[in-house]
Chain A
């Protein structure tokens, strides 16, 4: 049995200890907001937080999470379904294209801003370079992080 706290709720589930937590959460718990991209911790699509720190869940055995707090994209909004400031910025800057990598991008950005409320460009590079976006939305992700951290004004719909 694997036992951990998933988005604030205790979970006990029958899973081999070596099974990556990505697959435990997606297939055994049916929570599919976290994505599979590469399986070797190279793309960041599967990023979750383990005790608040970003981890690549495709390469993190569930045994590592034993007794610890696991947070996924489903768990980072505010209370009562409110969006986090980061999610709101992702909308104002119209960041996603296909959207597949964005759960991971938002998890990495959330961890960055928690530790560093006003990141520089170099800080953003360092925190975000583990996340690939094949659609190429990087410049918008950068802008959204600056909007979420109060360094830039959000884009209004009339500005193109």
Chain B
């Protein structure tokens, strides 16, 4: 699956493609059709033009399909597979438009090459307003964004975006274009009108004459067909594969040990050595001195390297390297950060919020007159919430294999950003990007952690220093204590209620804003007067997007506080939300459905109680009800119900798996997730003290999908996470009257 040499050869042929076209075709060596969604170079728009114009004749392609002479259809997918199922679903979307025989569809990971920038993902991040343009394939925007994406090395998998961007806007188009050309070729050969030819299971049919032929028969000549630059896409009533729970193509290899993850890479012909590393315990510090005298004597140890901002021990095996590393004494430079403990970090947040007061800070959203409405409200409530730092802790430890020789570097790594890794390694080694090859097999979990690319440069430096190929593996402790983190934050919220209890004013101030920008704004609710303010404060630990990013803490802040408002109004929390969602039928439908499936209106069994939360994130509306049992005095998760409206779900079972996982990710953080600081360094180190929910602790989960249709489709990977923590905390309030404004929850009932 990862041998791309035939495709690399084929790529040179793309230069022959029409410069004007966005869809290009070529002939495979030995026969067969290759189609790519490409865009032309150059862009005349304003100041960006000089930056985005590249050489003449350059053709950029972001997704491909090939049909070979065995009638096998291969979808070449630019996104990584980290468990979200995108490889499979993207192929499903392409195969449906192509009317391909699903049993003979293969998936291939696109190589880390500038040709595979995920244009639409970048476009969504950079200029989301263009996504709804009536004609998305409009040449200027598309060309512009491919170039921007290329400049930014945007071969990214993140933002719950693969299906709704690459899937909707290129995989489907590639499939439809290929089908159109095959039909055209058959019509020419058979001398019949195009409209009389039908397709099914990778076969062309002409009913009147009884003729039929597999796609392979016309694959080569189809390349000469004129290209329809805007092939007609199917409507949902025409789908054969989309909307179906097709089994994922990557799963068979994941149940017998043959799936290759980054850490499993054993490059052919290379004799690997192994490196264990230690990074600074406090971010930003460097090695002052080290004593490796004991390590040097240990069996299997080859080299001990002081790399200034980390130390590496290279040995014949990882275990030997790590054992030796554990004996190295390192003195690190003093940290300049004034933050030594979490109390210091929260004091920094408080200072920023104090300075902003009740009206200051940067305005994130404003509607009506929140301050005035608060002054005139019949009742006001206010509360301060906190969220801790969190680690991502993907099960596959951070690792990278690197080989530097003859002015070239090969990298094997699990990464969400292969092109950024390539650029980072190139600049670290002083090589051009063309001389760096990134091999990126399956990821053993990402959750945002693998959007960082530092570790590839570390491995490259070690391999350069040793002169031989090295596999660097971080211990679990390194990744827990010295990586990149979901930020901590403090939020101060105020609400004003009128005589009837209606929420008429909402003011929300906090200190950390990353992505998505709208996460901090409860825009779905009808609240006449809203003020959302950011009083930015410095973070001690480096930030990295963590599944659902800002929604992970904002969901907890806002949906817990809305619950407080409901109780202040002496209203049912679900009913109270419904009242505020009038005029948003999709949100109402989601909430009504979760009310039904969770038996919300039926009194709870003894000791049990339920909490609700609803969050719209990454284009998907998710309402969750969590049921807890507090009869032992400690929270026990019993049930979770989720209702999701993503517009249209391409693979329902795959979507549900993502939501189930998103709920457990959110509940795990809510129950246990916390990183403490001591002397500026993280205290927790491994799964014994940075705990995860386990089999005996997770609730039963039911997920229901609503396909409301007729809206841009939403994501799956992240939207399950944000409502989990507030629904959990709200359930505990319902049971105990104890409002949890800090996380994690378990230690508050210890």
Contacts and interface: CB of A to CB of B under 8 A. Distances in A.
A144 B86 CA distance: 22
Given A27-B318, A36-B263, A96 B695 contact: no
B443 A87 contact: no
A99 B255 CA distance: 8
A74 interface: yes
Contacts of B445: 98, 100, 134-135
A33 B657 contact: no
A33 B257 contact: yes
Interface string B185-212: 0000000000000000000000000000
B698 A99 contact: no
B259 interface: yes
Given A87-B255, A136-B660, A136-B661, A98 B396 contact: yes
Given A37-B397, A132-B687, A158-B245, A19 B319 contact: yes
B695 A73 contact: no
Contacts of A68: none
A73 B687 CA distance: 23
A45 B263 CA distance: 13
Interface string A111-150: 0000000000000111011111111111111100000000
B661 A137 contact: yes
12 contacts: A27-B274, A32-B257, A34-B257, A37-B396, A97-B661, A98-B82, A98-B446, A128-B695, A134-B692, A135-B83, A136-B693, A160-B705
Interface stretch (B138-146, B605-613, B648-656): B648-656
B53 interface: no
Contacts of A159: 245, 653
A134 B660 contact: no
Interface string B219-248: 000000000000000000000000011111
A131 B256 CA distance: 17
Given A134-B394, A135-B445, A99 B83 contact: yes
Q: How large is the interface on B (under 10, 10 to 19, 20 to 34, 35 or more residues)?
A: 35 or more
B696 A35 contact: no
A96 B664 CA distance: 14
A36 B250 contact: no
B660 A28 contact: no
A71 to B, nearest CB: 11
Interface in A67-88: 72-74, 77, 83, 87
Interface residues of A, number: 62
Contacts of A133: 395
B657 A97 contact: yes
Contact of B654 (A83, A94, A128): A94
Contacts of A6: none
Contacts of B251: 90-91, 94-96, 99
Interface in B328-372: none
Contact of A142 (B253, B259, B299, B695): B695
A35 B96 CA distance: 36
A133 B83 CA distance: 12
A54 B196 CA distance: 62
Interface string B652-677: 11101110111111001000000000
Contacts of B264: 32
Contacts of B255: 83, 87, 90-91, 95-96, 99, 102, 106
B664 A138 contact: yes
A31 B396 CA distance: 16
Contacts of A38: 476, 686-687
Interface in A8-30: 16, 19-20, 23, 27-28, 30
B185 to A, nearest CB: 33
B656 A97 contact: no
Contact of A91 (B252, B320, B662): B252
Contacts of B700: 139
Given A36-B473, A74-B256, A98-B395, A137 B244 contact: no
B699 to A, nearest CB: 8
A109 B277 CA distance: 34
B395 A40 contact: no
A39 interface: yes
Contacts of A99: 83, 250-251, 253-255, 259, 261, 442, 444
Given A72-B257, A83-B256, A101-B395, A129 B694 contact: yes
A95 B695 CA distance: 14
